[in-house]
């Protein structure tokens, strides 16, 4: 498989290493320093693009690839205010976009456990939900995409919540899930869901020991996506049901 890397930071370098170990070829490694090299690439030589860049680059990277009929595996977060426009473009071009806020298999099990817990808590009085996420200081967006997906899992499965609010401990309205973000090096990523009451506390958490889980998931998805069309996510890849 011939891979174009759109973004060559820490994640891009790890993806490159693992992909090559699995016998794949990296056609090009594009970063902000050499973005003009895109003009010299032959789309016919690219099987898939893996996009882990920055929020300000993600949309242009994705649309560049979709315009050239290159399937995209995207893991950059912080650009979802453009989601509707981008996905409409993907469908208009009969393209392929796989987006996940987190490619770790463990995190996606955590997402499903979070949804199931929200359903269990739906008719239980006296508990208040909240989320805390902790990442390294180089992470630019807050809250993390993983935290937003976690909040959406609560909102979609608990009738007591219809929104989330980024907060640093200040009170929020009753029907909004408070999300706290903390930046501490060298944390790869920790996400904690809490249901607190005057009597007890229920916690569900996921802690990444390294970025390798994210990297492996992204490469496995890139291998899987080649014969797929449309806008896809980790539910399509893993076929989880709860």
- Compute and round to an integer the Cα radius of gyration of the chain: 19
Q: What is the DSSP letter of 171?
A: -
* 146 within 8 A of 107, measured Cβ to Cβ: yes
* 58 within 8 A of 83, measured Cβ to Cβ: no
* 102 within 8 A of 114, measured Cβ to Cβ: no
CA atoms within 13 A on the CB side of 119: 6
Prior bond of 143 cis (ω within 30°): yes
Q: What span, in angstroms and rounded, lies between the C-alpha atoms of 24 and 223?
A: 10
Please provide residue 195's backbone torsions phi and psi, each rounded to the nearest 5 degrees. -120, 105
Q: What is the DSSP letter of 26?
A: E
* 225 within 8 A of 96, measured Cβ to Cβ: yes
Q: Between β-strands 230-232 and 176-183, what pairing exists: parallel, antiparallel or unpaired? A: unpaired
User: What are the residue numbers of the active site?
Assistant: 135, 139
Q: What span, in angstroms and rounded, lies between the C-alpha atoms of 38 and 7?
A: 12
Q: What is the DSSP letter of 36?
A: G
């Amino acid at each position: 498989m011939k891979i174009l890397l759109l973004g060559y930071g820490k994640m891009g370098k790890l993806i490159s290493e693992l992909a090559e170990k699995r016998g794949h070829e990296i056609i090009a490694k594009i970063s902000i320093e050499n973005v003009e090299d895109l003009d010299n690439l032959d789309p016919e030589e690219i099987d898939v693009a893996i996009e882990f860049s920055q929020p300000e680059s993600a949309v242009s990277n994705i649309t560049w690839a979709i315009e050239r009929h290159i399937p995209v595996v995207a893991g950059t977060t912080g650009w979802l205010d453009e989601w509707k426009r981008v996905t409409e473009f993907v469908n208009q071009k009969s393209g392929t976009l796989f987006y996940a806020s987190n490619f770790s298999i463990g995190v996606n099990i955590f997402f499903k456990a979070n949804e199931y817990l929200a359903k269990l808590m739906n008719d239980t009085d006296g508990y208040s939900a909240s989320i805390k996420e902790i990442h390294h200081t180089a992470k630019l967006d807050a809250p993390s995409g993983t935290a937003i997906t976690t909040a959406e899992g609560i909102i979609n499965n608990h009738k007591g919540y219809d929104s989330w609010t980024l907060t640093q401990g200040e009170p929020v309205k009753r029907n909004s899930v408070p999300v706290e973000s903390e930046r501490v090096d060298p944390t790869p990523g920790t996400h904690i869901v809490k249901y607190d009451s005057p009597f007890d506390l229920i916690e569900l958490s996921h802690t990444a020991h390294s970025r390798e889980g994210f990297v492996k998931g992204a490469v496995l998805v890139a291998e899987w996506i080649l014969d797929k069309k449309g806008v896809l996510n980790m539910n399509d890849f893993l076929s989880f049901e709860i």
